[in-house]
Structure 1
């Protein structure tokens, strides 16, 4: 069995972060979101991985390499433009051959991995298997309709009027039968070859398409809110560890990991928090659900429920929360200027000005 990992999207909902960085490499709990997917694939005893890459290909290749750090063998497959998930299957035909495969969206996070799902697929061998989860707003996802027996009878991609609240999670399993399906469908009104259309094509021709409704944690980390939520969830399972320097005036509370080379001086750290190597926190408060990457400086500031990427600094800032801060960012106080008022008031006017 092989894996096809999609890492070619532009990440428009995470701009401006993704103007200069691949969305799949934005870290949560100080590790790129893509790495969690690769680790889940390796844990399911899959070795050969095809990586769909686009305009951020060099950055992805530099981060992942040949896959050996994950126990994988990675083959890069360039995609000229993000033309849909079914298009990714189409261009990966030579790599996939006649093997079964799992398709995993590189910016998705499935808590607990995919091992059980892959084992079930290997045992039962349906033509396709999809993961579903209930969401409050299905219009942003592919949506599945099940019959009274729980069989998939219909799929729609981002429908304006969803027929159910079951969203398709970004993990799919296929036998080689899907290749005929992706060759047979037409481009959608969105200008893409939709994988939901390919699966619907299989359903219409009586292929065995099964679904698993998961009640566990899943997130499409396509926006800041979801990135912060995944970060919070991962940090809740953080193993506390202090390998860096913490002075006697500092207070460390709860699940806190301070990596080697990091320093905490005169500060209060309330976990779950991770502070990366080379980072320095001085006379500051770092609150729950915060990840500070490597070589950052937090001085005389307060920050919580946030992600701070590498080489960034805060100096005398109160207070930061629910924020995603990019690489090499500097945040300082602006110079204080005298408060003034410029007025042009007509005859008989009445004006009240607060101090």
Structure 2
């Protein structure tokens, strides 16, 4: 069995961060989201992985290499434009051959791995298997409609008026029959080859398509709040570890990870949280569910329930929460007089200021 990871999306809902970085490499508990997916695939016993890449392909290649660090073999499959999930299957035909495969969206986060799901697919002799979970707003997802016996009776891609609240999770399992389906369908009104249309084609052709209801935690990390929630979930299972330097004036409560080379002086740390390697935290408060990346600086600052990417600085600012702070960012206190905000803000940003 092989795996196909999709890491070529543009991440429009996370702009402006995705103007310069691949969304699949955004950190959750200081580890890129994409790494969790690769590890889940490897732990399910799959070591041949094709990675579909787009405009951020160079960054993804640099992060993953040939897969040796994960114990897998990676083949890169460039996609010229984001033409749909089924198009990814189409361009991966030579790599996939006649093997069954898992298709995994690189920005999805699924707690508990996929080993059991792969096992049930193999044992069930299905043509395809999809994972479903109830969501509050199905309009942003592919949606499945089930019959009285739990059978799939219909699929829709991002419907304006959903007839079901069951979203299709971004982890699919396919037999080689899917290749005929992706060749048979036409582009949707969005101009994309939709994987929901390909699966519907399989259903119409009489193939066995199995649905599995996900009871654990799943997130599509396509929005800021989703990233923060994933970060919270991972940090909740943190095992405390202090490899850096902490002075005796610092107060620590709850599970805290401080990586090697980090220095913490005269601070209050309320875990669960993680502080990356070579960061310096001075006279600051870091609250629960916060990830501070490598080589960051916090001085006289307060932050909680946030993700701070690497090589960024916060000085003299109180209080930051529920925020996503990118790489090489500087957040500082404005002069006290006049009482104004001085901002340099790029396109498609969100800024909330107290009056």
TM-score (norm 2): 0.95
The equivalent residue for 2:309 is 309
The equivalent residue for 1:348 is none
The equivalent residue for 2:322 is 322
CA distance in 2: counterparts of 1:93 and 1:234, whole angstroms: 35
CA distance in 2: counterparts of 1:89 and 1:234, whole angstroms: 31
> Where does 1:198-277 land on structure 2 (aligned, <5 Å)?
198-277=198-277
The equivalent residue for 2:55 is 55
| Cα offset, 1:339, TM superposition | 6.1
CA distance in 1: counterparts of 2:152 and 2:66, whole angstroms: 37
Q: SS of the residue aligned with 1:58?
A: helix
Q: Does 2:46 correspond to 1:14? A: no
Q: SS of the residue aligned with 2:334?
A: coil
CA deviation map 1:137-172 (0-9, x unaligned): 101100001111111110000001111110000000
CA distance in 1: counterparts of 2:158 and 2:246, whole angstroms: 49
| Cα offset, 1:338, TM superposition | 4.0
> Where does 1:103-118 land on structure 2 (aligned, <5 Å)?
103-118=103-118
> Where does 1:264-303 land on structure 2 (aligned, <5 Å)?
264-303=264-303
CA distance in 1: counterparts of 2:195 and 2:169, whole angstroms: 12
Q: SS of the residue aligned with 1:171?
A: strand
CA distance in 1: counterparts of 2:23 and 2:149, whole angstroms: 38
The equivalent residue for 1:155 is 155
CA distance in 2: counterparts of 1:98 and 1:151, whole angstroms: 27
User: RMSD over aligned Cα, in angstroms?
Assistant: 0.9
Q: Structure 2, unaligned stretches of length 5 or more?
A: 341-355
The equivalent residue for 1:80 is 80
| Cα offset, 1:336, TM superposition | 2.0
The equivalent residue for 2:67 is 67
CA deviation map 1:310-352 (0-9, x unaligned): 0001100000000000001011111122469xxxxxxxxxxxx
CA distance in 1: counterparts of 2:276 and 2:127, whole angstroms: 44
The equivalent residue for 2:36 is 36
CA distance in 2: counterparts of 1:317 and 1:246, whole angstroms: 22
Q: SS of the residue aligned with 2:83?
A: coil
CA deviation map 1:3-57 (0-9, x unaligned): 0000000111111111111000000100000000000000000010010000101
> Per the alignment, do residues 69 and 339 of structure 1 end up closer, same or farther by CA in structure 2, a change over 3 Å counting?
closer
> Per the alignment, do residues 339 and 129 of structure 1 end up closer, same or farther by CA in structure 2, a change over 3 Å counting?
closer
CA distance in 1: counterparts of 2:97 and 2:76, whole angstroms: 15
Q: SS of the residue aligned with 2:295?
A: coil
Q: Which moved more, 1:331-340 or 1:244-253?
A: 331-340
Larger Rg: 1
The equivalent residue for 2:27 is 27
Q: Does 2:185 correspond to 1:185? A: yes
CA deviation map 1:264-318 (0-9, x unaligned): 1000000000000000110000000000000000100100000000000110000
TM-score (norm 1): 0.95
Q: SS of the residue aligned with 2:200?
A: helix
